[in-house]
Structure 1
């Protein structure tokens, strides 16, 4: 059922249609009138007010009384508009914004209740405003009005050459002569039929009626204009109409879209919502200065690019699918898609029909000796003159078909290579080439039995077969990088390989690829999209595709270098499937490019693009925290100066290019900070924030379809220095700096003086500390010396004491021994001498002196505490102070041990010591 339905797909190539929805232009649905100003801006009377389109952005100016605008007309530097009980004009102010001035207030006439103005015409210094009851003739020079009243409804007003016509319902056709109405015909045809427009022709006037076609008026004679379009015109209701500059007519209908008639009245094309219009109700029509036709619809605004070098066929129903290849054969156009194979008569707007048995993916279409071969996912078909398909090869997936000789073809398939052979005038499948099973989408013969195969993920293979192409003798992978979306094609005897790194040519001698710098430059890496290449054998052109362009290469006429041309049509507009782009030469200058939505036809002869003009639309400035404010455009030719706080600027600009298939791009540089041109961008504004003070010049240029605009915007401005950088401030800074230097010097002197005093004080303190430390060290040294003296004296005292003890012991021992002698007389003198030595007071004095050196206060303390003690007692105390035992003391006192104990006892009593208290401890503690 699907493919049965597909057979009714109607084919019509139409001009590109640019669509603007209410969301795009920011107003309501209905658009009642359209006009173009001197600077090529478009103005539209909308339910919500006046719309302005500069080629980049829409701007809505609400009507003064917030009512519907019904009419609009540009004349001179003014845009006239009419609406509900008011009419007037709009003018640009110094900021580039429209300001409205009413012409109907404070006049000698009064607007009737609920009166609306549906038509505006300008002629020779006059502007006419038409309502259903009155025509107001405004004299621009004198700012005065003449009025033509009518009791009958005035449907429309028409300007034909330099004459003004209007129709009164049920009365007839009138002409305005010297400011007054003049009836020129009241025939029945003009009473009963509402006239939509009047066209001038060589032999009279053509009167376009609403529902009864076109009448011809000539010298009071009115008759039906007999054309092939009469039947169609009788079936539609015309609401708006326009004669175009090429002599053809555009008729806008109430429910059937538009009908375009030739100058002779034949139907050229019909376009309605099914062919791409936003809506079938056409309220207004206007042709712009570039040959585009603007349609004000009941829901949106459409632009027909009638002068475009492109025509499009849109598969609205999705029956065809994505087009992968196309071919022309025997007067038919064939489209290979992912849905199958379709065809139609080439020279007629006939229906595309589906060829049975070709359901599924079609990869390639090749015409060989008048026979169409179809490479398909299921295999290979031949398509006969009766447009039926017959299986030729059941080997799955035929990518490509290449000629080897007049009776042999090479196929690249999912599983390698195979051969088709012509026998008895018919192509037959012969064999698969054994020994190579890699998918072979791109296949070329570099020489006999020498085949190159490119696989985008595996690389390029060189395959040698036997002489009869039945098996592979050998194959090798060539030393060239593989790349996604790469391609391989033979052109003018050379095999080319292309991937994102460039264009390479195969050298049979070295059996390798060499980069071609000239062709590589045509496919820059940043714009690379696909390696798919297509040959146009009729024109000997090689076609390729990048992101922004379609490129074709052909042999140079005056040199061996190829000529490289490009068509600026981006991949977004082409809508081809990347890697599967296709192009077909269909007529002398026309080519068909398949897409995911149908196809595009390019007429190379119409590609010559005239440079357009770029316009500065607005300048805004702001400080860091403020909103943007407008700057005057009237001063754009002068160098303006801005306060340093207002150092953020935004510039808006546009090119009045309304072609759907072309792209408007802009480039700027800000001399004084950015001296190099920016990258091309579709942004129609640029903002600079927080610019430093200085002199600047903004330059902006544009391009459409690759053609640079004939002018460039130049705007010079100065960001003033901040007050703190101006001369007076700088002088103040110098004075302040000098004062500051003086102050710093004074403060430094004071500081240095304080520091010096502080250093002196610190030095003195350090000296004092050093002196104290020295004194401390001296005292320490003295103490150490004193301690050493004491220790020495103690040693001397100890030594003296021990010497006395030992001497006395020795003397006593001698004395004892002498007493044992038998002759007393002999020993008495010796004993007497010994006793004299034992009782020698000089020894005691020597001991006492040494003792006092060590413990000089001891004797004094003992005497002060115990006055009753005797010198002998003091002597005993000294020995006890030295912690000598009674046994050691006895020899020193020359008494017995027992006598020492007695002396000790007596001493205790003199000192008043308790029985439990130790005499030695007491003396040691004194």
Structure 2
């Protein structure tokens, strides 16, 4: 992107920024004692390779993982004076004690004392103030001696008492008390540095730092440089004067050209050796305290251990901030550079920023919307009207009502003023001021389509087109709403000779051929973003998350996150002021920011994203070792917590993804993850630290399992298997039994049916036999009846002609034979036998009920049973029909039957 700005403005701006440099500071992050839950005083600070911050605090070792601070006190509750991470261990020194902390798999630190390795050595009242490493050995320094830790052994270097350590030209430099400087060789022998060291022989050396061939030697009130065997006092007298006043305490190398000096009384001094310039950061700049007891630079960030709190300064940030901590300035709405000074429009008035001092312009109190520099005249749109700033005075132009905007008319010297009740025209040369009577609504924005056509934005009721052909009778056309019920806070712009409107979070462009607005598809990616268009820059602001996008709408884009601006934008009134291709200013709710875009682009391309740290995993009862195979009992898995860290880096987000029986994902907010009611099974947790640009990420992962519940354990599954096998066997057995029973039932049924069938056949056979016998009995009976009937007729005939027979004896003999034949007992026996076969037990049953019946009675009963009539019975009994009737009558009486009972039916039915 190429942005053009008048050269004179660039020079003025750069000059102004240099003048006010002491008030423009990089981002400073404060960590108060209440935030880290430790003591106020911090003596030393350091950072390991992962970016974890360690602080020597009065109450113990403070550890910061990017989310949370943790305090680890010593058992003796001693003050920790020094801290030094080295190869995964954190070495610390305190009163009569030194050792190291090691990271445990459970996520905590465990302290190992090394002072106990000293045999027969009294540490007296030693406090260990400094720790350093040299050729893989660790050196501890107290005011009573120097100790070396090597190969798990501790030894005291004899006759050495040093006030400072330093590494210079691959040598361990020490500062023996009242002896200047020396170095230790591999045999721990003391060797003096060459050259005249007399200026520092009796100086209390507090720190040593090397940059290339230069060794910087710090005393409390002076700084020396040792180079090529020569010792000289630091060359910058202004800096030396500051050191005398503020008491030098520590030093830290930033780069080959930068050195930071920590003081007791006035914060830190950031010195640039290449330019011989320095900047002081103290409480006025944003530090919590001016007493800096320790400092450490890592990953372009400077960490300070303060007498009260911990601070971090992002020294290499492309952002520099001016902050009005008093609150006098308020929220800044606009900013302009005019006549070598910076002027700020805020909700409390218009201010001049000069030589690092902020001054309210006289009579400029009250809300000021913006500033406009037109033809080298600075105008202010103020809550009471339009003013111009001249010679430090606030001169009214149009003060009958508040003013929103002022624009110069194309091809005309006059200015158009949009104010709370309409539009006025002002001629700067003559001072003539006229109001356009036809415009009687507030005008917050004005843009010109051409010299005769302007577009105006009402704060609440949409957009209007103004025909300026006749200024005495301006024609006003209200544009129909571009979106449903969406006129509030509409905005209008002129971009590349096109009229654009922003309405209801959507972009529209005016089509002059169709005389209507159409949705602007090219800006669809910037919905919900307000445009600040200055000097051909497209700057989109998202008021929701406080981010800013600077783009050419092609392939170049720079994004500034709300976090980079500390969420300090003035919501809905954001302003971006480009100074040149690289430098821009942004108004904030308590000051303003300066941005170096070239530096910002480089920083976004060369980010360092720290690797997420999974510190510990806890269930409802147990803290687990991260290094082990993690298996969590199901009964404790209803609430699983993980503590994670993301050491301070350029990451903008930490995302997590949990995959397994349940899938979850989201963003880590406070260093804690809580998973509730996870199902049993295997899980894989991935943490992803993400930068502001695509592809910038680091990851960490953890595998763990949730054991199945007791009722799904191996032994229970085995039991379930046995039970299932038992059930299957029982079902099989039961089925077999059922089959066998069914088979038996079938066999029994078959047998029964077979028996019944045989019985039925036998019965049918018997019935047939009985029917046959009955027929035979009937036939035999009928034949006997016929025979007797014939015999009786013959007998009757013989009796009629009895007198005609000569041989009466012979006749009588014949008659006897006929009687015998009629009353043949053998025939009766045969009949009785056949009758009993057909009607079994008939006679027995009759006699059981009627024992007084005679044989003749029984004979009659048998004939009646056969349903024979009296006429048919008479021959069989050898009597007359009348005799049968009489016999029946007598039988009825013997059987005591009523006259209305049919004797034949009675016998057939009951016997």
Normalising by structure 1, we get a TM-score of 0.71
Inter-CA distance 602–119: structure 2 relative to 1 (3 Å threshold) = same
Q: CA deviation at 1:57?
A: 1.2
Partners of 1:605 and 1:654 lie apart in 2 by 31
Asked whether the 8 Å contact 2:196–2:230 carries over to 1, the reply is no
Secondary structure, in 3 states, of the residue corresponding to 1:395?
A: coil
**Counterparts of 1:473-872 in structure 2 under 5 Å?**
473-481=475-483, 482=486, 485-524=489-528, 531=530, 533-537=531-535, 540-556=537-553, 563-570=556-563, 573-607=566-600, 608-609=603-604, 610-622=607-619, 626-627=620-621, 629-635=622-628, 640-647=630-637, 648-657=639-648, 664-673=652-661, 675=663, 677-678=665-666, 680-705=667-692, 709-725=696-712, 726=714, 727-735=717-725, 738=728
Partner of 2:307: 298
Aligned partner (choices 382, 394, 401) of residue 399 of structure 2? 394
Secondary structure, in 3 states, of the residue corresponding to 2:711?
A: helix
Asked whether the 8 Å contact 1:294–1:302 carries over to 2, the reply is yes
2:259 aligned with 1:259, yes or no?
no
**RMSD of aligned residue pairs (Cα, Å):** 3.1
Q: CA deviation at 1:306?
A: 0.3
**Counterparts of 1:339-378 in structure 2 under 5 Å?**
339-344=348-353, 350-378=356-384
Partners of 1:46 and 1:225 lie apart in 2 by 35
Q: CA deviation at 1:702?
A: 2.3
Partners of 2:77 and 2:400 lie apart in 1 by 71
**Counterparts of 1:116-127 in structure 2 under 5 Å?**
116-127=127-138
Inter-CA distance 586–11: structure 2 relative to 1 (3 Å threshold) = farther
Inter-CA distance 507–631: structure 2 relative to 1 (3 Å threshold) = farther
| 1:786-823 residue CA offsets vs partner (Å, 9 max, x unmatched) | xxxxxxxxxxxxxxxxxxxxxxxxxxxxxxxxxxxxxx
2:109 aligned with 1:98, yes or no?
yes
Asked whether the 8 Å contact 2:257–2:272 carries over to 1, the reply is yes
Partners of 2:157 and 2:487 lie apart in 1 by 76
2:313 aligned with 1:307, yes or no?
no
Partner of 2:243: 233
Inter-CA distance 366–89: structure 2 relative to 1 (3 Å threshold) = same
Q: CA deviation at 1:606?
A: 2.2
Partner of 2:419: 413
Inter-CA distance 454–327: structure 2 relative to 1 (3 Å threshold) = same
Task: List runs of 5+ in structure 1 lacking aligned partners.
Answer: 1-7, 750-926
Partners of 1:400 and 1:744 lie apart in 2 by 97
Partners of 1:464 and 1:562 lie apart in 2 by 36
Partners of 1:246 and 1:478 lie apart in 2 by 64
Q: How many residues align?
A: 708
Inter-CA distance 98–562: structure 2 relative to 1 (3 Å threshold) = closer
Partner of 1:471: 473
Normalising by structure 2, we get a TM-score of 0.72
Inter-CA distance 11–267: structure 2 relative to 1 (3 Å threshold) = closer
Q: CA deviation at 1:614?
A: 2.8
Asked whether the 8 Å contact 1:118–1:156 carries over to 2, the reply is no
Inter-CA distance 278–630: structure 2 relative to 1 (3 Å threshold) = same
Q: CA deviation at 1:99?
A: 1.2
Q: CA deviation at 1:593?
A: 1.2
| 1:659-690 residue CA offsets vs partner (Å, 9 max, x unmatched) | xxx77422222223555743x45343321112
Task: List runs of 5+ in structure 2 lacking aligned partners.
Answer: 1-18, 740-911
Asked whether the 8 Å contact 2:465–2:476 carries over to 1, the reply is yes
Q: CA deviation at 1:440?
A: 1.4
Partner of 1:191: 201
Inter-CA distance 285–687: structure 2 relative to 1 (3 Å threshold) = same
Inter-CA distance 719–516: structure 2 relative to 1 (3 Å threshold) = farther
| 1:420-443 residue CA offsets vs partner (Å, 9 max, x unmatched) | 33437xxx3532111222221123
Aligned partner (choices 435, 440, 456) of residue 453 of structure 1? 456
Q: CA deviation at 1:328?
A: 2.2
Secondary structure, in 3 states, of the residue corresponding to 2:199?
A: helix
2:98 aligned with 1:82, yes or no?
no
Secondary structure, in 3 states, of the residue corresponding to 2:525?
A: helix
Asked whether the 8 Å contact 2:404–2:418 carries over to 1, the reply is yes
2:140 aligned with 1:129, yes or no?
yes
Inter-CA distance 400–435: structure 2 relative to 1 (3 Å threshold) = same
Secondary structure, in 3 states, of the residue corresponding to 2:416?
A: strand
Asked whether the 8 Å contact 1:655–1:664 carries over to 2, the reply is no
Secondary structure, in 3 states, of the residue corresponding to 1:299?
A: coil
**Higher relative contact order (CA closer than 8 Å, sequence separation 6+):** 2
